């Protein structure tokens, strides 16, 4: 097995942002008078915000989106952080000569805010606004790979949700899940990923063993 590039999901995979996302949704539900459904909301993390808004708010989806963006941006810097091991992962993969990118279902404004605040940098960053189809469809991953000039067979996609695993498999990449984000190991395993990592050392170690000399 030989890899040239590794693409990552962002929220819950590289950034410890699920508390911010949960906090934001809870405020939106309260303001719109919707019944708060934390489990149902968390199960949809990884899908585009507009799809989630339509699911829970119906024809009030535009109001839902507006409120979400307001609260998310207002509280972003207070709640946003990377995981303690994020830089270890990225640094370890860069030492192996691997090219790195991000494919997220997050919008461009929120993604740019997170990248600026955390200091994360990647060769390519694909957001929900860059492709007409979204995860679990393969389009965003294939878009990123085309921008990098990398064949799917030489790439991995790493994420914390079932939608990430399904998108990676559909794109033809090595599809890997991490257990420190939104989905449990059991839910990830149900999507038949190529690998599941519970520790960052295991993730980096895998690519070290399978990277070209």
pLDDT 10s digits, 112-142: 999 999 999 999 999 999 999 999 999 999 9
Closest listed residue to residue 163, CA positions, set 142, 147, 183, 180? 183
Least confident of 42-46, 113-117, 175-179: 42-46
pTM of this prediction? 0.95
Burial class of residue 18, CB neighbours in 10 A (0-12, 13-18, 19+)? middle
pLDDT of residue 144: 98
- At residue 30 the predicted structure's pLDDT band, cuts being 50, 70 and 90, is very high
Strand ranges, E, within the chain: 5-8, 99-103, 124-126, 155-159, 174-178, 195-197
For residues 4-32, give the mean pLDDT: 97
Average pLDDT along the chain = 96
- Sheet of 99-103: strand order equals 124-126, 99-103, 5-8, 155-159, 174-178, 195-197
Residue pair 176/197 in contact by the 8 Å Cβ criterion: yes
Provide mean pLDDT across the span 72-77.
97
Model pLDDT, residue 26: 97
- State whether residue 6 is helix, strand or coil: strand
Of the chain, the percentage scoring pLDDT greater than 70 comes to: 99
Q: Extract the tokens encoding 181.
A: 């984000």
- What are the DSSP E strand ranges found in 28-110? 99-103
Domains with residue ranges and CATH for the chain: 5-16+81-210 (3.40.50.1000), 18-79 (1.10.150)
**How high is the pLDDT of residue 213?**
53
- Mean pLDDT of the region 79-101: 97
- Residues with active-site annotation: 9
Res. 157 pLDDT band, cuts 50 70 90? very high
On the question of pLDDT at 211 being above 90, the answer is no
pLDDT of the residue at 101:
98
């Amino acid at each position: 097995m030989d890899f040239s590039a590794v693409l990552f999901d962002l929220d819950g995979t590289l950034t410890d942002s699920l508390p911010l996302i949960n906090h934001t949704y809870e405020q939106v539900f309260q303001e719109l008078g919707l019944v708060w459904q934390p489990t149902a909301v968390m199960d949809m993390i990884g899908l585009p915000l507009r799809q989630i808004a339509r699911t829970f708010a119906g024809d009030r989806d535009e109001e839902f989106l507006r409120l979400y963006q307001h609260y998310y941006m207002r509280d972003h810097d207070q709640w946003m952080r990377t995981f303690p091991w994020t830089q270890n992962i990225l640094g370890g993969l860069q030492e192996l000569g691997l090219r790195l990118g991000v494919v997220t279902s997050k919008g461009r404004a929120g993604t740019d805010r997170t990248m600026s605040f955390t200091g994360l940098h990647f060769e390519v960053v694909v957001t929900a606004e860059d492709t007409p189809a979204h995860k679990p469809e393969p389009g965003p991953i294939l878009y990123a790979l085309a921008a990098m000039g990398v064949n799917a067979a030489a790439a991995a996609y790493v994420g914390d949700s079932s939608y990430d695993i399904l998108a990676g498999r559909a794109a033809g990449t090595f599809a890997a899940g991490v257990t420190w984000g939104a989905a449990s190991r059991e839910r990830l395993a149900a999507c038949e990923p190529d690998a599941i990592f519970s520790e960052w050392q295991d993730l980096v170690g895998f690519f070290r063993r399978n990277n070209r000399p």
